[in-house]
Structure 1
C-alpha cells in the first residue's frame, strides 16, 4: 500500500483489538501512531494503556480524564431533552462517541497527524458516529477503519497476529469474555454470544452495576435532586459536579436494582441488534427531569419538546451530534430550560423510581388555588368551559351530520 499517511491518532484502549490495530497501522501504512485513551467513567484504570503503548514503541501518548466534560457537555444536554431512542434506550454508548471523535481530531491538529483511526467494526453504529464526528469537525481528515480493510476478522486471527508481532496479550488463548461490553459514566452495555438469541434471558451474573430487583433492599430509599436551568446540581442538598452527581446516582440506583434494560434496537446500518444495558443514574435522572418540567414548563412547550425528542434521539443514535440540525434543536431545548428550576423527591424501591414530590419556589406554573376541587373563590369560572367545549366540538358535530 502506498504510504500516503505519515501520522495517525488512534483511539486506544490497550486491549487486544486496538493493540493489534496499532501494530497493523505501522506495518500497513509505515506511519507513526499517536495513541489516545480517554477516561469517560468506564470503571477501569486507563493508565495501564500508557505502559502498553510505550512497550509497543509509541512516542506520543495521550491519557485524559474526560469524565466531567462528558457529563457536563454531552450527557446533561441530552437529558434536557428527555432523550430516549425507540422508547427505551438512553443512548449511553451513542453519546460518548462525539466526545471521543472531538478529541481525536483535536489531537490530530496538535500533533500534526493527517489521519485518525478507531477500532469499530464495519457492522456497527460506532464507525458511523466516530467518522461523521471527525468529518464534521475536520473535513479534510482521513479516517482509517482497520476492520473494513484487513482480513483479521476473528479472534483467533487477532491472537495469531499478536503472537507473530510480539504484542502482549493478557488472557490465554481460547478464553474470551462472554459478551462484548462498553462502559462509561452513563451506562454499561452487553452484546453478542448468547444474547444474539432474542429469546435467551441474560444470566443474573452478567449484570455488573445493579443488583436484581428481588435482591434489592426491602426498604425504599428517598432522595431529592435539585435542578438549575434543567441540569441536576445537587443530591439531598449536597452540591455535586456533573460527573460526581451521575456517579452517585449510579451507585444508589444500582443498589436498588434500577436501570436494567433488555431490548432489540434498529441499528443505523440496517440490522436489528439485541443488547442489554444498565443505566441506573440515567434512569433516575430521566424520571426526575420530567417531574420538574411538569410544574415549570408551559403545556405547549412541553408537548413540542416531546414531539421533537424522537428526532433528536435519532440524531444522537445515528452519529449526528455535530450536525447543524442537532445544534438547532439543542438551542431550542436549552432555551426551554431557563425556568426548569426546583427540587424533585424520589422513592427508589426494587427496581422502580417513583416521583413522590416536586417543588419550585420561583418558577412553578402549578397554582393550587386554580387547580383545587374545593372552592376557588372565583379564580376559575366553570361556566366558561361550556363555550370552550362547544367550539371544539363544532367540527365533530358537522362531520357527524354528514355521516363522517
Structure 2
C-alpha cells in the first residue's frame, strides 16, 4: 500500500507530516511512500533527502493515488479520496464539520490526532503534547522580542538591571516549557495551575507555584470549572498579573472553550510596556479581547493572540509531528498493509469517520 505526504496548502502552515527519517521507518514497514515535491521545504527537508530515504517524489497531491494520506491540516482534496482510503491529520472536527461530512460521505476512514486518547500506549503518537512543547518555547521568545526590557538581571558599571517577572498560567506541556525557557533566559518566574500535581513540576523548574485559596483538581488533565470558581480565580491572581512584566497563558480544556483567566481591567493594571501572550487564543482565549494572529494594545500593554505557533518553528515541529504520525500509522500496519483494528482503544478513540459513519459521538451530535 502507498502512504502519501502532501505539501500543506493552508496559509501560514509550514509544517510537514513526514520527514526523511520517518519515511525510512514507513518503508521498512513495507509501505511505499509518495511525497509531493516541495512538501518539506519549510522544514529544510529536500526532495533529494526524501528520495534517499526511499520515497517517490511526485508533482501532484497524493490523494487518489495513495491509500493513506498523512497531513498536518486536513487534506483539501477530499473529492479525490476513495472509499476505504485512510487519512491522518490534525483535523479539529468541531470547526471542520463540512469536511467531516465530506469524509463520511466518501467512506473515508479518518483519524484525528486532536482526538487521540490520553493513555500510556498512545504517548508516542501524542501530537498535542509535542506541538504544545514547541508553542510554549516559542511563546516566551515572542514575548521577549516584544518586551522593551531585558529578561535577565544585569549588573553593570551604570547600575543593576533587575530581572523581568514572568507569570505562566497553566502548567501543562506548553506551560512547563514556557517556564523552563523563561528561566533559562534569566527571568523570575511564577506559575499557577488548577491541578495539585502541577505544583511539584513547577518548582522542579525553579519557578514559584502560586498557592491560591481554591479547590484543586487531582486529575492529570484540567477539567472545566464553574463560572463562580473562575471569577474567584481571577480575583486571586489579579495582583500577580499586575506585578508581572510578561504573562504567558496556556490553559486549555480539550474539546471546550478556553477559560477566561485575565480580564481587560487586569491588563490595564500591568506595568507599561508589559507583554501578554495568549496561547489559547485559537480556542476562545484565556485573555479577554485576544484575537488569533493579532497584536492588540490595551493601554500600555501589548496583547498577542497566538496562532499556530508550532508552525513558526517548522523544522523541529515537523520532526516531532512526523514521528507522532508514523507511530500512529504503524499501530494499524501489518506486512505493508494498513488495516485499522478499531477494537484497539487508541485507534477507536481517534477515529472520526469509518465506512460512511461518524464514529466520534460529540461530532455526530454536532452534525
Q: TM-score, normalised by structure 2?
A: 0.29
Greater helix share, structure number: 1
Q: TM-score, normalised by structure 1?
A: 0.27
Higher relative contact order (CA 8 A, sep 6+): 2
